[in-house]
Structure 1
């Protein structure tokens, strides 16, 4: 094989899915309740204060607003009017935006893997690849949720934000290849989580426009909800009297101008503060507010409200590994649509790229899902993913022939995972990323699941169903070696032709942005998501998960916001009834 292909394919791993955005026809909904935090009074009072207008916070706020006054505080801006969020064709642009106003805030775990956290109304649903799928029935039973209410809550979400994706050639070939190699049965299109191969839902509609958790605010009672944008919460306020349990009663937040505001709960039984700031933001805010490991808080001169050593513990991120397959045929622009759900604990998915449709070489700035800008620079060892390495990869991308962008990736994600890490504060600044370690593949079972997933991908690539999208002279070992060893390496890499699949998994580990944990049910919150040891405080988001639900958690996080909102309303209705 010539040097040209080696260079093109290797660098394409870092820059697959270069999508050109197009002008969005989506208009912002008329949310009269959505305002900039600069317009907020210095002091205000509400029945509920929700911190974080993300994937869980938006459906939760919409639900509670039906009966009570709700303040929803979001540290980012609006997703509406931003085509980098709204349009499928611009996927990756928001993730690669490193400006202070970006809807995505980059962080690098102590493992060395580049990742992202949302900073926008709608949360991660504004940044992700759009796959929509429910948790398994076993997951629902294991966590003790009410199955009927779970299904009703999923349906409530799906009426506004979930769609059946169009199945074109690349995704169809991957689906048929999975069935051919034994990931059966073929379950067709379904939101349900079932063993075998299926086509899942998407939050992109038929016109390629994204629908996010922010759209669920259409369900809100406008007179009961206030949404403040660019409202950065610094601290939850507690009342502590004698030996009584700490009582959450307010928050301090700052607006975009740095002006300090306070919001308090109205006096009344049942009013609460609810943290929905995400798997990084929720444990971080709990610590900043004095709830966390006492010695760690004291080291940052934070007054300890409650010594809670499990805050920030058991952090997990599902490892993702992929193989790039250059195609002799043009492929459609597609994100995640098909998934193979195996019995051994690995999920097989795929994405495909574009041929610079309508663009020019000078337009090569945003490279999508697998790109140096978004952090998916799998061609550089995790510990070497420095700004300089990313800049070098982007420079390499700029001179690529468009042939490098014909093709796609087949990837696997490890279920769970079992491996866990921890989160700690770096400073008392809520805008600064905390330090987080995920310990990818620390547990041997996670590594074995990756190996088994890669074996399935190998079989799919060599399947008859997928054959027209593969060059005959590029063997799977060659593709894997190029995937693991491209010209943008800073250090010599392992030659995959002479090393194990275990080493391949370790060398090419990436994130699929499904990190969770830090405030789990049973250790930090109870089964009603009430924080243990304090009153009038709950946490409702992915930080409470012990395992990532389904093949993609966003549907379940949105469902959880609605589910818990309905439960809270039902509890209050029951308590208000005459005895």
Structure 2
């Protein structure tokens, strides 16, 4: 593991040798600006600088746009032999307790001010979502669960299997831990097994049908380790990382390389701005193998291509964006795994818990659990939105209440859930594999800071809806299992009726009768949420080739989740970080052999 030494801020100072003559006072002013520029040494990487006070070199072998899960691992790898510039629009995660502490997962997601690490966007489907705006990307925001892609996914992607294995291990040696299971997660694991999600896979990073405990980027002390720490493996003399550097567009010139059938656009740099609104140019080394590589994520990468004139001509013309290359696939294939939650009121407190155990079914659904204690601030802001999704008519409420265990023979009083604390509510969720349903990303404006328009078209494919329905039936069996008895109330029908209204108003989801397929289908559609695993927009075969080069464009690649057709594994962060390392090693092989 990397041992990061935190400090507040370090400045570079010049000695007396910096003093100029009176005749060069203006030059001295700029020299002072250089010598006192802010270095984010609490990383503690001295190559991380604020874009306002940086002095760029004249050229780079690689310019990486986006310092997220893929960008950090890619940059660290390429810097071993080549000069690399990373441009990240957000700030640093180091020293931010909301990012670094597991118990602050909810407040971190809830913070959506203009400079927060989490930027809110709402899809055209009406589902609220988040996109990362911080060095380390989504690894600074997520629930920490770490699990590899399946072997089938790796094979379908055409990746070199030994290099994939080496790349996963490179990430895991620096960031990944095996979590301890508390009482809630242990009961959930046993409930999955009792509900028939078999076999028991124990603790494993592999993606296998059955019930397993995965890994986490939170260590045993509850401290998050993000992809930004992978920069500690970089060659510090070859890398520069600028934060608060928002890339406005990619710069192209015409290229007529030998062997080409004709001239084609070729990237030669980018235009970016700092927080003062000052524009800067970052340029590539004029050598033929230098490249701009987009790692800006499933929203940022297609958005930047479109703003730079690479995309469907009919989408660019109305905004007055000059066409560089008509690429129909940019912004297409946008997908987000639909997720539905069931809340479990408990007679006893539940430990604050992010996802640690998963049930991987054979019908296309993942079953996971967390707790409201880890999401209190975030979920409290969402509760009113959830309750609006629930049909208030009593005739539509059927017998299975929010996850409360129904035992007609018992008559245990249950307190009003409106007065319950979030620490006494568990969460069991279902996420649809894939998914097969997809939509499109379009520009709203020509401002890179504005969210694009995104539609995911949840459940438009019947197979996705069927997976949700079956997943909800598994969740009911888990909740009603003997393993979960200590975390569920025993109530008779009268008590259920008395308490259902308060429960729905508090957490918003009332699970319908699971024997009623139509009711479950309505539930899936009306309470759909995100688990922040959206992808697509620059997919392999549509926008990039198998080496992640943008088709028809020179010196430009995309390496991030926008290239995925389906989400890899139960959580994509492992594979996104792996892909950055993998492509870095592939590029080094190409250039050094």
Taking structure 1 as the reference length, the TM-score comes to 0.86
**Take 1:474 and 1:101, find their aligned partners in 2: how far apart are those partners?**
49
Say yes or no: does 1:437 pair with 2:455.
Answer: yes
Matched, 1:471 2:489: yes
Closer/same/farther in 2, CA of residues 290 and 170 from structure 1, 3 Å limit: same
The reply to whether residue 528 of structure 1 matches residue 536 of structure 2 is: no
Any idea what the Cα deviations from partners look like across 1:464-504, whole Å, max 9, x if unmatched? 111111001178x969x9599833799xx999458611011
Q: Secondary structure at the match of 1:510?
A: coil
> Are the aligned partners of 1:324 and 1:483 in contact in 2 as well (CA < 8 Å)?
no
Give 2:408's aligned residue.
none
**Distance across 2 between alignment mates of 1:483 and 1:536:** 59
Unpaired runs of 5+ residues, structure 2, are 8-41, 257-261, 391-416
Taking a change above 3 Å as real, the CA distance of residues 196 and 110 of structure 1, as seen in their structure-2 partners, is same
Residue 442 of structure 2 corresponds to residue 424 of structure 1: yes
Matches of 2:366 and 2:501, distance apart in 1: 19
Rounded to whole Å, the distance in 2 between the matches of 1:444 and 1:116 is 26
Quote the Cα distance in structure 2 between the aligned partners of 1:474 and 1:503: 26
Aligned match of 1:453: 471
Whole-Å Cα distance in 2 between the matches of residues 562 and 489 of structure 1? 41
Q: Which residue of 2 aligns with 1:122?
A: 136
Partner Cα distance (1:482, 1:560) in 2: 46
State the match for 2:236 in structure 1. 222
- Which of residues 143, 149, 157 in structure 1 aligns to 2:157? 143
In the other structure, the counterpart of 2:219 is 205
Shift of 1:26: 6.3
Q: Distance in 1 between matches of 2:320 and 2:332?
A: 20
Task: State the alpha-carbon separation in 2 of the partners of residues 252 and 132 from structure 1.
Answer: 35
Superposition pairs for residues 1-80 of structure 1, below 5 Å?
Answer: 28-41=42-55, 44-80=58-94
Matches of 1:85 and 1:200, distance apart in 2? 21
Q: Which residue of 2 aligns with 1:343?
A: 362
Q: 1:241 to 1:561 in 2, by over 3 A?
A: closer
Structure with greater Cα Rg? 2
Q: 2:291 aligns with which of 269, 272, 279?
A: 272
2:532 paired with 1:519: no
Moved over 4 A (4+): 24-27, 481-485
Partner of 2:398: none
In the alignment, structure 1 residue 235 sits paired with structure 2 residue 249: yes
Structure 1 residues 553 and 164: alpha-carbon distance in aligned structure 2, compared to 1, 3 A threshold: same
- Contact 2:373/2:422, CA 8 A, preserved across alignment: no
Query: Would you say the 8 A contact 2:341–2:429 is kept in 1?
Result: yes
Q: Which of 378, 383, 388 is 1:380 aligned to? A: 388
In structure 1, what is the equivalent of residue 322 of structure 2?
303
Between the two proteins, the alignment pairs up a number of residues equal to 521
CA contact (8 A) 2:418 2:503 kept: no
- Judging changes above 3 Å, is the alpha-carbon distance between structure 1 residues 26 and 566 closer, same or farther for their aligned structure 2 residues? same
Give ranges in structure 1 of 5+ residues lacking alignment. 1-23, 356-365, 383-398, 575-579
Distance 2:74 2:378 in 1: 29
Could you say what secondary structure the match of 2:153 adopts?
helix
Post-superposition shift, 1:39?
Answer: 1.5
Give the whole-Å Cα distance in 2 for the aligned partners of 1:292 and 1:53.
23
Distance 1:120 1:412, change over 3 A: same
RCO greater where, 1 or 2, for CA within 8 Å and sep 6 or more? 1
Among 310, 315, 326, the alignment partner of 2:345 is 326
